[in-house]
Chain A
């Protein structure tokens, strides 16, 4: 165990919580203090996340930077290492850590212009980020669930207080659907820990027990759907995706960024961590079903996006579509497809964060998000349009941007295992091109609506944030071997994945 590096994980986990604690004692009127403080915390977290990603050795052990602190043990039904704060990263979670750092920092910068109860916003925001890091780091079922819930709960207030359009409805729907999903995870945890009978929540121990046949195939087939559907709700699994458009429409900009950018990935990550790794035989049995639902989601999201007129609804449905690709990639259980799913999680994360940032920048000035209200925006907001075009092209999978790398892997994986579904996935990508180009045409070009002649371009802070996200997209699009190399060992080590 490389404990010294483990402390980096502990820091990344504790820092946002500490930030929330400190902010609690900052007077609400000191908005600038809260902003600068949060920006500094965000920058440090970005640094730590980049470190975690770079320090993860591509050819080494699957789990690195492990650290274990005993929490509750040898009491009640709990035995040795009953519940421990066991942290560590594999290739997938290292990539997700990087994503979290990038999106969280960008989100902090975007929240700069928030005026109403800014301090309270940052407190909840940092609790959410701590939950996200914790879920990616946790190698203990108890703490996995702990942080998973921690990431979901602040959303109610973040959307309910700072949101827009129908915010109370969106907040309640989103919270109830996501927590409802976690009931499934909870039941799965009860069944798995009971069935293993080891008195421990330690994930590597449970994975090992699973490989030694602690979970009968029948039990795996029954319990896997609890994990898959429970996590699937957060991953935008069709038909449980309906919180996504409503939630994203109501959420404030930086919450949309983090939510679509990172939180939805927690769901897909949970399917890997809990579903595939604990219950491989259950996963194998149910994957065709997941493939069908993922494909429907990809197509449905794309078609729905084609018909929407609200920017945020388009992105909300496009997220459903892209998360559909992730599920298709996972469902192939093929080395290339699963790598593609992980790449897509990153790619969609940065791309969608950028999109929500840009929508927020426009909406704050225009107070409308209806496509047909706009026209010729390129004349007044050139930077904004360039950034949007980049995000849009990543969305449709243009070579050179991250979307291409990710989707290409997924399509290859799908064609090797289920060619028909590979074809359908490509069809969804084609529809994505249609809705993106329609939006470009309507909003960016054409005659300028005089109502918008006073629109201001991106502010310097927003530009920094956007550039950071664009660089991430370019990095994965142009030079993907640092990404794929780190994933390779992890993906092949997943039980049931064929190469």
Chain B
């Protein structure tokens, strides 16, 4: 059915993007931070428009897109992320570029791509949504065109991204060849109806899809692009990469794996478990050696992807109830991780706007020069490490607990050990901020009021999710059960 009312929030986002592009065309001399505020306002409108969809009955659009609670969840997440990133960018981009219309417009477009990735229930639509987001990001990463690192980052990201897209497409075509359909339900039915079990084409197809989406979420060993892209990208885009792009990747993975491929879980679950183990271990061990903050965050977020993949592995190993509770806990962890990451980057941007230094040693003595920013950075890093009172403690514990199944205790144990490793390099940052005096000549300063307020708000979010996760957990639980209502339609799980 062609129900055009299902995606009204996204129309707002796209209209906002076009309006912002047009504004700068008509009025080139507009102050660039005004564009940021306009973007944030557009994102706010997008978010508000999404609220009536919470708890609404699932609406199907021509069998290719589905607007249910799962989609709505990512809608709110995407709108929230875009809003925060736009505000973080305001001063940063004004100081560095003379044209920012495309920057803010593409931010909204990328966010829309994220929602469509969550809504897709058909392989080609999912692929197009993924590319919508990726293409926006290729440009955004290279937006600082006079900065060599930014150019290098963009080039590397485009080349490897194109490579992974090719793999994904190849995998999609193999699955289509086997099942004769691209719709998730059709694939599930066709795979379940197969006689004689496994065939090589399906396995290769699934593996190529895993590798393709693995690239997008930067799971090791497909993570090589991430540190360079993170380091070269403008700081707010680094934040966008480590939140929206990963969340979107997992939105697609969740919909695809629970909807279409869960039938063949035996084929991929061991691979996902191994991928999770390699990703978290590689991310955390490589993070220890970094001296640049952005690269450290890149590797630490690779570690986080490893934790998130544990839930996907659990979907493969556990029964339907485990799959649902693991998905729900994964969505909760994504919220906690997103809020913590945004808080971290807000504080880092406030610091960078002042010092222009993005090395870890550049944070030296921050507890003296700006105790509030030091506190926000501490809170978000401790949240990543999973220490009490911060979002990461509750969400990570619930994620791992929900993912504990008989075959996966080793992986959960490895994840716990990895979050211990991660504490070491977070403490190294803490050490710079709290144990050392600031370098000569650095005096106490105040952060920009906008960034200060945003950081404070996000800090409250980190604490709220950490101390009282019930409301967020209920929301993610609704989203996860929407995911399983669909796939429950006539699905039989193979033993």
Q: Which residues does A use to contact B, with CB under 8 Å?
A: 71-73, 75-77, 131, 142, 145-147, 149-150, 153, 156-157, 160-161, 168, 172, 175-176, 179-180, 182-183, 186-187, 189-191, 193-194
Residue contact B431 to A160, C-beta cutoff 8 Å: yes
Docked Cα-Cα span, A214 to B410, in Å, equals: 21
Out of B416, B424, B469, B480, which one reaches A186, CB within 8 Å?
A: B416
With A72-B469, A160-B434 given, name 8 new contacts (CB 8 A): A71-B470, A76-B329, A153-B382, A168-B435, A176-B424, A179-B420, A183-B417, A190-B416
Q: Name which of A73, A161, A183 has the most chain B CB atoms within 10 A of its CB.
A: A183
**Chain B residues within 8 Å of A190, by CB:** 400-401, 404, 409, 412-413, 416
Docked Cα-Cα span, A179 to B422, in Å, equals: 11
How near does chain A come to B426, taking the closest CB pair, in angstroms? 10
Interface 9-residue window, one of B133-141, B198-206, B387-395: B387-395
**Chain A residues within 8 Å of B328, by CB:** 75-76
How near does chain A come to B419, taking the closest CB pair, in angstroms? 8
**Chain A residues within 8 Å of B397, by CB:** 142, 145, 186, 189
Residue contact B477 to A156, C-beta cutoff 8 Å: no
Out of A131, A149, A176, A191, which one reaches B409, CB within 8 Å?
A: A191
Docked Cα-Cα span, A17 to B120, in Å, equals: 46
How near does chain A come to B467, taking the closest CB pair, in angstroms? 9
Q: A176-B424, A183-B420, A191-B404 are in contact. Are A149 and B393 (CB under 8 A)?
A: yes
Q: A146-B388, A187-B412 are in contact. Are A77 and B427 (CB under 8 A)?
A: no
Q: Which residues does B use to contact A, with CB under 8 Å?
A: 321-322, 325, 328-329, 332, 382, 387-389, 393, 397-398, 400-402, 404-405, 409, 412-413, 416-417, 419-420, 423-424, 427, 430-431, 434-435, 468-470, 473-474, 476-477, 480
**Chain A residues within 8 Å of B332, by CB:** 76
Residue contact B400 to A176, C-beta cutoff 8 Å: no
Docked Cα-Cα span, A175 to B435, in Å, equals: 15
Q: Name which of B328, B413, B474 has the most chain A CB atoms within 10 A of its CB.
A: B413
Docked Cα-Cα span, A191 to B397, in Å, equals: 12
Q: A175-B427, A190-B404 are in contact. Are A72 and B434 (CB under 8 A)?
A: no
**Chain A residues within 8 Å of B469, by CB:** 72
Docked Cα-Cα span, A180 to B385, in Å, equals: 12
Docked Cα-Cα span, A72 to B329, in Å, equals: 13
Residue contact A187 to B474, C-beta cutoff 8 Å: no
How near does chain B come to A454, taking the closest CB pair, in angstroms? 32
Looking across the interface, which residue of chain A has its beta carbon closest to that of B402?
A77
16 of the cross-chain contacts (CB-CB < 8 Å) are A71-B470, A75-B477, A76-B477, A77-B401, A131-B388, A145-B397, A146-B393, A149-B388, A156-B427, A161-B434, A168-B431, A186-B416, A187-B412, A190-B400, A191-B409, A194-B405
Looking across the interface, which residue of chain A has its beta carbon closest to that of B427?
A156
Docked Cα-Cα span, A189 to B417, in Å, equals: 14
Residue contact A76 to B417, C-beta cutoff 8 Å: no
Docked Cα-Cα span, A472 to B72, in Å, equals: 60
Residue contact A76 to B470, C-beta cutoff 8 Å: no
**Chain A residues within 8 Å of B398, by CB:** 76
Residue contact A150 to B389, C-beta cutoff 8 Å: yes
How near does chain B come to A165, taking the closest CB pair, in angstroms? 15
Looking across the interface, which residue of chain B has its beta carbon closest to that of A153?
B387
Looking across the interface, which residue of chain A has its beta carbon closest to that of B386?
A149
Docked Cα-Cα span, A168 to B426, in Å, equals: 15
Q: Name which of B405, B420, B424, B476 has the most chain A CB atoms within 10 A of its CB.
A: B420
Q: A75-B473, A157-B434, A161-B435 are in contact. Are A149 and B417 (CB under 8 A)?
A: no
**Chain B residues within 8 Å of A160, by CB:** 431, 434-435
